[in-house]
């Protein structure tokens, strides 16, 4: 039995919009094994981003339990959640979310700074940028990089703290198909070669088909959960 | 998050909006500048007044007729005999010098020029008690007093008015209220600080003044008796001895002294308390402008937090804790106010120098003094203003929820 990184039980999320309650998640349960590459699909408004935010500890569920990498996250305060995000989760956003006025290198250093890493910080950031093929662009600012390159910087930033899981909410949504394909290739390489657990939210079934597993979400519930045959289990590899 | 990184983020944000930062800082600059300048000017005025009081002489008591509340009826005038009694070494061992004084105004003329000035009837003791000296000629001595001589010492201002110079005048004749007086000396020039110009004066023997120039109802009366104590510690004893002698001589009822003794220190204390109040008042008004500057900082910080909502959300997503965000924004606001404080100290210094120059040009000898303490006070105060007014916006930022912050457009 493979080791579970994500163990979510009966998650629900209710948004109060004035008098109306919006049920974004309705008792959703989901397990993800270490080393898995998984795609979350579903129509707009089905709750994909809401789920990702909870899995990434950016948000708390209204009800349900959640263990990330063996730790129960339910009763943690804001600062403890920040710490979990810092150590266990690497985020890749649709809109890159790089700091505009700082270099690629400094952007990648940021999670290490918040982790309190002093010695070797620069080297680790450089290594992460080299791993995404941007070893030559250390001092470039985001506005001096293409969209694809910016997303690579974001991936390097997600990698640099060696998190248990990488979460990407529509990482190719703002890129053309060529750049998007490159980013997907890079993310899958991190999964296949380095054993990183990967969760990708996408609307693109070509993207989803490249992963090991597709979870379809509708109305805040799992509608289908399909393992793709060609996944060669490498679950216990990596750390 | 390390301190350097927060500071770096703060500097980045300040330099990203240079004009906006400059305008924000300006509020603090003006506030701190005003506080520094006002405190400096207040202190300069205090020093100037204290200096002129101390310039009268040292360890002095001023004895005057009448009680300070004007309750005692028919106070006896002070006389030459009172003054002589105060010089008694046995009854007043703490007294070293006694200098009676008669003072009024007189018209002095020579060669068709004429001026109205302060006339002092003095004794030879004034040379020691008041620290007077002559730049040429000789001081009034006891034989002038005994002989009620028609001799006069001219202050430099009077000499300049009458003769256009203040040297080589010994032996000239001037008329005081029409009567001829021989010039025996010119008083050495004194600083012009304080309440009156001490160079604008003439001095004649006290006896001469009593007889011919400043007639009082009682022939041998004087206006003030200056008493000098042997040293600073002896001033209270001297005061007590003087009081006892005068009580006996005037046969006053118990608790109904018909004279007043003012200690030089009393003058200093009164002046210090007046200038102190003035300084606090001016400083308080200036501090209000510093407060307004602080509100400016708060305003800009609030805008900055809103503008950077997404950035804050991102930093939190990457693992920033509340205190990391709090510290980043507090660093920004206190840096702004610290820059303002430093520029403000410079501005305050410039204002002080300017006021000093204007005062010097107007012959008022106020030298504004910027103390280390007021610089420290202004620096700390401006930092505190930055921290205080930055706290609310920084707290807003620190408490943002990451999801909502990231979603913010
Ligand atoms: N902060 C919020 N306040 C109120 N309702 C919200 C909030 N966030 C999400 N919702 C609602 O929750 C539901 C799920 O939203 P979510 O963003 O998870 O959808 P999604 O599957 O990511 O959609 P898309 O594919 O368009 O990104 C939607 O109906 C949305 O309107
Ligand atoms: Mg979404």
Q: Of A41-45, A233-237, B28-32, B252-256, which gets the smallest average pLDDT?
A: A233-237
A96: region left, alpha or beta (phi > 0 left; psi from -120 to 50 alpha): left
Which residues lie closer than 8 Å to A17 by C-beta, 6 or more apart? Answer: none
DSSP B199: T
For residue B154, the cross-strand partners are B186, B202
| Residue B5 at interface with chain A, using a CB cutoff of 8 Å | yes
A154 C-alpha to center of ligand 1: Å?
A: 23
Is residue B407 within 8 angstroms of chain A, CB to CB?
A: no
Find the closest chain B residue to A59 by CA distance: B403
Q: Mind listing the domains of chain A with CATH numbers? A: 35-57+84-238 (3.40.50.300)
Q: Would you call A59 an interface residue with chain B, using a CB distance cutoff of 8 Å?
A: yes
A82 touching chain B per CB within 8 A: yes
What are φ and ψ of residue B47, in 5° steps? -60, -40
Distance CA B228, CA B268 (A): 16
Bridge partner residues of A14 (DSSP): A23
Distance A169 CA to ligand 1 centre (A): 13
Reduced to 3 states, what is the DSSP secondary structure of residue B196?
coil
State residue B219 phi and psi, 5-degree precision.
-55, -45
How far apart CA B137 and CA B153 sit, in angstroms, is 9
CB A86 to CB B12 under 8 A? no
List the structure tokens of B339.
């820059």
C-alpha A27/C-alpha B146 separation (Å) is: 119
3-state secondary structure chain A: CCCEEEEEEEEEEEEEECCEEEEEEEEEEEEEECCCEEEEECCCCCCHHHHHHHHCCCCCCCEEEEEECCEECCCCCHHHHHHHHHHHEEEECCCCCCCCCCCHHHHHHHHHHHCCCCCCHHHHHHHHHHHCCCCCCCCCCHHHCCHHHHHHHHHHHHHCCCCCEEEEECCCCCCCHHHHHHHHHHHHHHHHHHCCEEEEECCCHHHHHCCCEEEEEECCEEEEEEECCCCCCCCCCCC
Ligand 2 midpoint to CA A187 (Å): 19
Query: Which residues fall within 8 angstroms of residue A32, CB to CB, at 6 or more apart?
Result: A4, A5, A6, A38, A165, A197, A199
d(CA B181, CA B108): 10
Tens of pLDDT, residues A64-100: 999 999 899 988 999 999 999 999 999 999 999 999 8
Distance from CA of B1 to the nearest CA of A (A): 5
Q: What is the pLDDT along chain B (409 residues), one digit of tens a residue?
A: 567 777 888 888 888 889 999 999 999 999 999 988 988 888 888 888 888 777 777 888 899 888 777 777 778 888 888 888 888 888 889 899 999 999 999 999 998 889 999 999 999 988 888 888 889 999 999 899 999 999 999 999 999 989 888 888 889 899 999 999 999 999 988 766 555 678 899 999 999 999 889 888 888 889 999 999 988 888 888 988 998 898 888 888 777 788 888 888 888 888 888 888 988 888 888 888 888 888 889 999 999 999 999 999 999 999 999 999 999 999 999 899 999 999 999 999 999 999 988 888 877 777 888 888 888 888 888 888 888 999 999 999 999 999 999 988 7
Ligand index nearest the alpha carbon of residue A59: 1
Centroid of ligand 2 to alpha carbon of A229 (angstroms):
27
As beta bridge partners, residue A90 has A166
Tell me how far the alpha carbon of residue A22 lies from the centroid of ligand 1, in angstroms: 9
Ligand 1 centre and the CA of A8: distance in Å?
19
Confidence class for position A131, pLDDT limits 50, 70, 90 = very high
> Residues lining ligand 1, judged by CB closer than 6 Å?
A 15, 17, 22, 24, 42, 44-50
Say yes or no: A115 contacts chain B, CB-CB below 8 A.
yes
Within 10 Å of residue A131's Cβ, how many Cβ atoms?
19
**SS3 of B207, please?**
helix
Within 8 A of B2 by CB-CB distance, chain A residues are 113, 116, 118
Q: Do A82 and B319 touch (CB under 8 A)?
A: yes
CB contact under 8 A, B318 and A58: no
Q: A102 exposed, middle or buried (CB, 10 Å; 0-12, 13-18, 19+)?
A: middle
d(CA B348, CA B369): 11
The residue among B53, B59, B47 whose CA lies nearest residue B263 is B59
For residue A70, how many C-alpha atoms fall within 13 Å in the half-sphere facing its CB?
3
**What does the block give as tokens for B132?**
């007077």
CB proximity B358 to A under 8 Å: no
CA–CA separation, A235 vs A4, rounded Å?
10
User: Residue B320 and residue A79: Cβ atoms within 8 Å?
Assistant: no
Predicted TM-score of the model (pTM) = 0.74
Q: What is the DSSP string of B146-171?
A: HTT--EEEE-HHHHHHHHS-SSS-TT
Report CB contact under 8 Å: A58, B317: yes
- What is the number of the ligand 1 atom nearest to the C-alpha of A170? 27
Residues whose Cβ atom is located within 5 A of ion ligand 2: A 49
Q: What is the pLDDT of residue A81?
A: 95
d(CA A159, CA A167): 11
Mutate to test the interface with B, among A52, A54, A55, A58 (most CBs of B within 10 A): A58
Candidates B399, B349, B356; CA nearest to B370 is B349
- Tell me the three state secondary structure of residue B122: strand
Give the C-alpha separation, A11 to B51, whole Å: 82
Sheet with strand A37-41: strands edge to edge: A89-92, A165-169, A197-201, A37-41, A213-218, A221-227
Determine contact, residues A23/A83, Cβ cutoff 8 Å. Answer: no
- A234 pLDDT band, cuts 50/70/90, is very low
Taking an 8 Å cut-off on Cβ atoms, the answer to whether A101 and B12 are in contact is yes
CA-nearest of A1, A15, A6, A4 to A199 is A6
Query: What's the rounded Cα separation, in Å, for the pair A234 and B218?
Result: 123
B404's tokens:
């909502």
Contact B212, B220 (CB under 8 A): no
Indicate yes or no: CB of A79 within 8 angstroms of CB of B311: no
B291 within 8 A of B385, measured Cβ to Cβ: yes
Pairing of strands A63-68, B224-229: unpaired
Residue A113 near chain B (CB below 8 Å): yes
* Substitution site in A43, A46, A169, A204 for ligand 1 pocket (most atoms within 8 Å of beta carbon): A46
Distances (CA, A) of A140 to A104, A125, A146, A174: 6, 14, 11, 20
Interchain CB distance below 8 Å, A86 and B402 = no
**Is A79 part of the contact surface with chain B (CB cutoff 8 Å)?**
yes
Q: What DSSP designation does B258 have? A: S
- A180: tokens are 């998007």
**Contact (Cβ atoms closer than 8 angstroms) between residue A108 and residue A153:** yes
Q: Residue A235: pLDDT band by 50, 70, 90 thresholds?
A: very low
Whole-angstrom Cα distance, residue B243 to residue B261?
A: 8
Nearest alpha-carbon partner for B106 in B202, B221, B215, B222: B202
- Choose from B9, B309, B319 for mutation: most chain A CBs within 10 A: B319
* Global ipTM: 0.92
Inform me whether the C-beta atom of residue B401 falls under 8 Å from chain A C-beta atoms.
yes
**Gap from B366 CA to chain A (nearest CA, Å):** 51
DSSP letters spanning B58-98: SSEEEEEES-TTS-SSSPPPEEHHHHHHHT-TTT-TTEEEE
Q: Are A102 and B16 an interchain contact pair (Cβ–Cβ within 8 Å)?
A: no
Q: Please name every residue paired with A38 in a beta bridge, in sequence order, or none if there are none.
A: A199, A213
């Amino acid at each position: 039995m493979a080791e579970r990184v994500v163990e979510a039980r009966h998650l629900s999320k209710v948004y109060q919009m004035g008098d109306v309650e919006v049920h974004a998640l309705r008792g959703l349960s989901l397990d993800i094994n270490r080393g898995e590459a998984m795609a979350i699909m579903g129509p707009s408004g089905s709750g994909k981003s809401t789920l990702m935010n909870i899995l990434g500890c950016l948000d708390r569920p209204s009800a349900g339990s959640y263990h990330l990498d063996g730790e129960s996250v339910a009763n943690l305060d804001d600062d403890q959640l920040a710490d979990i995000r810092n150590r266990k989760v690497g985020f890749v956003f649709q809109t890159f979310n790089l700091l505009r006025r700082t270099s690629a290198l400094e952007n990648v250093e940021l999670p290490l700074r918040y982790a309190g890493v002093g010695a070797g910080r620069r080297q680790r950031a450089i290594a992460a940028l080299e791993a995404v093929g941007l070893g030559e662009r250390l001092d470039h600012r985001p506005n001096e990089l293409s969209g694809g390159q910016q997303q690579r910087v974001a991936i390097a930033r997600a990698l640099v703290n060696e998190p248990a899981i990488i979460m990407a909410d529509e990482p190719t949504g703002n890129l053309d198909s060529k750049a998007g394909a490159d980013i997907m290739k890079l993310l899958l390489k991190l999964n296949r070669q380095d054993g990183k657990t990967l969760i990708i939210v996408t609307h693109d079934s070509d993207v989803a088909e490249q992963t090991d597993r597709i979870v379809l979400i509708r109305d805040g519930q799992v509608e289908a959960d399909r393992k793709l045959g060609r996944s060669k289990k490498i679950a216990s590899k990596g750390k | 998050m390390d301190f350097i990184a927060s500071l770096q983020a703060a500097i980045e944000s300040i330099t990203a909006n240079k004009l906006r930062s400059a305008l924000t800082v300006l509020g603090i600059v003006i506030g701190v500048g005003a506080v520094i300048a006002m405190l400096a000017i207040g202190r300069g005025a205090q020093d100037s007044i204290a200096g002129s009081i101390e310039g009268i002489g040292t360890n002095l008591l001023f004895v005057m007729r009448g009680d300070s509340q004007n309750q005692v009826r028919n106070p006896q005038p002070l006389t030459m005999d009172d003054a002589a009694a105060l010089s008694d070494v046995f009854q007043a061992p703490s007294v070293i010098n006694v200098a009676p004084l008669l003072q009024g105004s007189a018209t002095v003329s020579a060669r068709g020029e004429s001026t109205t000035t302060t006339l002092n009837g003095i004794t030879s003791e004034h040379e020691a008690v008041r620290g007077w000296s002559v730049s040429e000629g000789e001081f009034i001595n006891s034989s002038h007093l005994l002989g009620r001589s028609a001799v006069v010492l001219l202050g430099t201002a009077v000499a300049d008015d009458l003769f256009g110079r203040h040297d080589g005048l010994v032996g000239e004749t001037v008329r005081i209220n029409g009567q001829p007086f021989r010039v025996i000396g010119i008083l050495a020039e004194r600083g012009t600080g304080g309440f009156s110009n001490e160079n604008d004066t003439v001095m004649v023997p006290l006896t001469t003044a009593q007889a011919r120039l400043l007639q009082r109802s009682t022939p041998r009366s004087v206006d003030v008796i200056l008493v000098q104590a042997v040293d600073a510690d002896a001033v209270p004893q001297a005061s007590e001895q003087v009081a006892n002698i005068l009580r006996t001589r005037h046969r006053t009822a118990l608790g109904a002294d018909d004279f007043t003794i003012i200690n030089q220190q009393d003058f200093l204390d009164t002046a210090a308390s007046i200038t102190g109040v003035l300084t606090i008042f001016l400083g308080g008004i200036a501090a209000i402008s510093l407060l307004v500057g602080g509100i400016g900082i708060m305003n800009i910080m609030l805008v900055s937090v809103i503008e950077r909502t997404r950035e804050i959300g991102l930093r939190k997503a990457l693992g920033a804790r509340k205190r990391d965000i709090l510290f980043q924004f507090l660093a920004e606001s206190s840096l702004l106010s610290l820059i303002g404080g430093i520029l403000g100290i410079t501005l305050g210094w410039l204002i002080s120098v300017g006021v000093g120059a204007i005062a010097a040009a107007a012959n008022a000898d106020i030298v504004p003094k910027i103390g280390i303490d007021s610089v420290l006070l202004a620096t700390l105060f401006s930092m505190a203003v930055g921290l205080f007014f930055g706290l609310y916006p920084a707290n807003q930022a620190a408490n943002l929820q990451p999801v909502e912050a990231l979603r913010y457009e």
